[in-house]
A = this chain, B = another copy of it.
Amino acid sequence: MSNMSIGGKARHESIVDEVSSWLTRSADEVDHLLATDRRRIVAAIEELNNDARLGDANAYYRQQLLLSRIYQTTMQISYEPTAEGSALLHEVTRLLEVAMIASEDRWIEPGTLESAPTVPAEYLSWLKRLARNHRAFKHPYYTEFINRRAQREDLRTYVIQESLVDGRFDDFLALMQVGTSGPAKMEIANNFWDEMGNGNPESVHTHLFSKIYEVFDVRQEELEDALSASDLLSGNLAVLLCRYRHMYPESVGYLGMTEWLAPDRFRNVIRAWERLGLPDVGITYHRLHVTVDSQHAAGWFHNVVLPAARSDYMRRGIARGALWRVNSSSRHLDERLANTRFAAERSA
């Protein structure tokens, strides 16, 4: 590591700490900084983004950590003022978002989006084929590691790593359906209502998920430190796509692909759960998703993707979001697999 990047690391930590410290101040208070500190802050964030782009792992981690903290202020209820809404905070957020978008776009094979068929039914088949042939589809992290090898501690790690998506899937759906209408709106709303246990508090998915946390004695305080850049990214991408109406097509692709991949993945989790004799709540939660998510994926393709696929803009965005999901998921699972004892044993 060169001296420059050591200096870079300290600067990255310092700007992330600085912006994080705003989050519990009011937006008005933060915006009084604008006049004097704006340039310096923007420059520091641009440096962070630039270093992340050039492959600096620490910069990438800090970038995703900061975005994840900022997004928490937009996804959690606070009992005291937050900087949410601040113009300066939004400018920082936007720089991080634009960098993340550009980074995900670079992972898409050039020409892929352009090769999509224009007829909706053909487009849908093409999209499914793309996903079925992707490494993310039956990833060895699930089919081998989780299925056959994972121990109790590995499943504990797994549920922590999934927290930024599974722990708030209902809110992603609520956000992404804003502004939709007709069958698409009903499909997403139905999906949301399933997440809400169809009105039965004991069956609310996030409630079941929190019960799994109790099984493993996972505390909120330990979450942030336990998450890698890839864990953070997968939550950040979902928030990004659901919070903006102009990213509705990408959210359709991203969340649709997430639900489509879930049943097969969760079957492996259920087998691990049974193999290890862990408490039933984990089986209940994952089995629910195996049944319900297969129906949702089918409904999603029929009621959300197909009607939208008449528009060029929508087709491109849906495919882009779906590719962001499978690409980031397979990088994520490769990384997880490389970090398991299973991998350590194999390479020993």
Task: Identify A314's interface contact among B79, B97, B314, CB under 8 A.
Answer: B79
Question: Which B residues lie within 8 Å of A181 (CB)?
Answer: 206
Question: A99: shortest Cβ distance to chain B, in Å?
Answer: 12
Residue of B whose beta carbon sits closest to that of A314: B79
Q: Is B174 within 8 A of A199, CB to CB?
A: no
Interface of A is mostly: helix
Which residues of chain A (172-213) have a CB below 8 Å from chain B? 174-175, 177-183, 185-186, 189-190, 192-193, 196, 199, 201, 204, 206
A1-9, A80-88, A258-266: which lies at the interface: A80-88
Q: Mark A308-348, 1 if CB is under 8 A from B, else 0.
A: 00010110000000000000000000000000000000000
Question: A253: shortest Cβ distance to chain B, in Å?
Answer: 14
Sort chain A's interface into a size bin: 35 or more
A143 and B119 CA atoms in complex are apart in Å by: 55
A28 and B74 CA atoms in complex are apart in Å by: 22
Q: Is B77 within 8 A of A87, CB to CB?
A: no
A196 and B179 CA atoms in complex are apart in Å by: 13
Q: Is A82 within 8 A of B245, CB to CB?
A: yes
Question: Which B residues lie within 8 Å of A196 (CB)?
Answer: 185-186, 189, 193
Which residues of chain A (65-110) have a CB below 8 Å from chain B? 73-82, 84-87, 90-91, 94, 97-98
A141 within 8 A of partner (CB): no
A273 within 8 A of partner (CB): no
User: 15 interchain pairs (CB within 8 A)?
Assistant: A73-B246, A77-B179, A77-B248, A79-B314, A85-B244, A86-B94, A87-B87, A174-B174, A174-B192, A175-B175, A183-B201, A185-B196, A189-B192, A189-B199, A193-B199
Question: A224: shortest Cβ distance to chain B, in Å?
Answer: 17
Question: A205: shortest Cβ distance to chain B, in Å?
Answer: 12
By a beta-carbon cutoff of 8 Å, the part of chain A in contact with chain B is 27-28, 31, 73-82, 84-87, 90-91, 94, 97-98, 170-171, 174-175, 177-183, 185-186, 189-190, 192-193, 196, 199, 201, 204, 206, 244-246, 248, 311, 313-314
Q: Is A245 within 8 A of B179, CB to CB?
A: no
Task: Identify A186's interface contact among B28, B76, B98, B201, CB under 8 A.
Answer: B201
Question: Which B residues lie within 8 Å of A180 (CB)?
Answer: 77
Question: A161: shortest Cβ distance to chain B, in Å?
Answer: 21
Question: Which B residues lie within 8 Å of A98 (CB)?
Answer: 28
A79 and B82 CA atoms in complex are apart in Å by: 33
Question: Which B residues lie within 8 Å of A179 (CB)?
Answer: 75-77, 171
Question: A171: shortest Cβ distance to chain B, in Å?
Answer: 5
Question: Which B residues lie within 8 Å of A175 (CB)?
Answer: 174-175, 178
Question: Which B residues lie within 8 Å of A174 (CB)?
Answer: 174-175, 177-178, 192
Question: A218: shortest Cβ distance to chain B, in Å?
Answer: 16
A86, A245, A248 — which one has the most chain B CB atoms within 10 A of its CB? A245
Task: Identify A78's interface contact among B90, B171, B246, CB under 8 A.
Answer: B246
Question: Which B residues lie within 8 Å of A91 (CB)?
Answer: 87, 90-91
